[in-house]
Structure 1
Amino acid sequence: MKKIFLLFAVALLIIACYKDDEAPQPTPEPTEIEKLPPATQTGANKVGCLVNGKAFLPEGQLTGSSNPYCGYFHDAFSLVFNVVKNNDNITANGTESVVVYSSNTFLEEGNTYVLQAENSDHSGGYRVFDRNDYQFYDTNDEYIGELHITKLDKTNNVISGTFWFDAVNEQSKKVEIREGRFDMVFEGWAG
């Protein structure tokens, strides 16, 4: 009788384990990097990066501006994208922004540009606009980064690439921008 009971218990255990294997498993949450757009080169108008390890993607709209914005006029390139937490305003209160600038340089496909001081030809920044607290984090001679152009199609106004940088505010608080990627149709006319 003990053998029959033992065999019955083992059979129930096997059936229970088999049933658990068939149970639907919850879909895992995507990692922060998986939330970013893929690094494409088609003019998809997608941009994103990690800000201190968290996905940062354009969200919301400021009155009178586009989000994201990409402009390339002759020798001046700017890429700006925001997370707007207070949509119906023109003051930018409740907004965080990532910016990448290049000036006095004709960008070339395949080249990498060092993002340094705000007064250099290439820089990066992170902005936090709040009613009583504006924080500006910028690259400088110590906190730098890179802008890499993977595609520049001047006929169709498409520019794609990657970026990363470290930036610091006046209180020496640092922000890390990583895994930046963009694939944009730019406004303007390239040199």
Structure 2
Amino acid sequence: MFISCNKDDQAPQPTPEPTEIDKLPPATQTGANKVGCLLNGKAFLPEGQLPSSSNPYCAYYHDAFVLVFRIVKNEDNITGNGTESIGVYSTDIILEENNTYSLKMDNTNHFGVYSIISRTNSQSYETNEDHTGELHITKLDKEKNIISGTFWFDAVNEQGKKVEIREGRFDMVFEGWAGKV
């Protein structure tokens, strides 16, 4: 007796769940207004909106760069209670394409922050001399106001608890101007 199976008789295979890194936006350089990273191994992407605040937010004014994105957990609360945010800041330097900048809180003012806003226990984790990271600019188009790049950092709170930000990527149209003084 012969039994044969036809390809069409096979049970459909379930679609595999995407990995955390697969949930991040692709690393592009088109001004797609996308940003994301891994926070302690889990995808962290902008979600929700606070009153009078864009999410994500990116600005670059000549020598001051800021990139902030949030997960807003309570949009009806103007205080942002329950909101988590990640920010990358750089001041006092003119950024250049294809350069990498150290993220640590020191006299250069290039740092990374993870914060949680809570009525009872707000927390802030920041880079410092011992817990650092990097910001790499892959594209800086001063005519179209596009800035793209990657970042990673380790940050600690006042109690010494550490968070790890990895695989950060952004492709943003920035507010501001990047012209010469």
1:88 aligns with 2:89: no
1:124: Cα distance to partner?
Answer: 0.2
- Alignment partners' CA distance in 2, 1:74 and 1:165: 24
- Alignment partners' CA distance in 2, 1:143 and 1:20: 55
What per-residue deviation string (whole Å, max 9, x for no partner) do you get for residues 154-189 of structure 1? 000000000000000001000000000000000001
| % identical equivalent positions | 72
Tell me what 2:102 maps to.
114
User: Per the alignment, do residues 188 and 96 of structure 1 end up closer, same or farther by CA in structure 2, a change over 3 Å counting?
Assistant: same
Which of 71, 76, 84 is the matching residue for 2:59?
71
Which of 41, 51, 57 is the matching residue for 2:45?
57
Conservation of the 8 A alpha-carbon contact between 1:59 and 1:67: yes
SS in 1 for 2:114: strand
- List aligned pairs for 1:133-152, cutoff 5 A: 133-152=121-140
1:160 aligns with 2:148: yes
Could you state the TM-score of these two structures normalised by the residue count of structure 1?
0.90
Q: Which has the higher helix share?
A: 1
Tell me what 1:28 maps to.
16
Structure number with larger C-alpha Rg: 1
Amino acid at match of 1:81: F
Q: Which 4+ residue blocks in structure 1 deviate beyond 6 angstroms? A: none
Conservation of the 8 A alpha-carbon contact between 2:92 and 2:108: no
Conservation of the 8 A alpha-carbon contact between 2:106 and 2:129: no
- Alignment partners' CA distance in 2, 1:111 and 1:41: 15
SS in 1 for 2:137: strand
Between 1:19-28 and 1:137-146, the stretch displaced more is: 19-28
Could you state the TM-score of these two structures normalised by the residue count of structure 2?
0.94
1:34: Cα distance to partner?
Answer: 0.2
SS in 2 for 1:105: coil
1:105 aligns with 2:86: no
- Alignment partners' CA distance in 2, 1:43 and 1:104: 24
Q: Which runs of 5+ in 2 are unaligned?
A: none
Which of 152, 165, 175 is the matching residue for 1:177?
165
What per-residue deviation string (whole Å, max 9, x for no partner) do you get for residues 64-93 of structure 1? 100000000121000000000101222110
- Alignment partners' CA distance in 2, 1:161 and 1:139: 19
1:19: Cα distance to partner?
Answer: 6.5
1:22: Cα distance to partner?
Answer: 2.1
- Alignment partners' CA distance in 2, 1:107 and 1:119: 17
Conservation of the 8 A alpha-carbon contact between 1:111 and 1:148: yes
1:120: Cα distance to partner?
Answer: 3.3
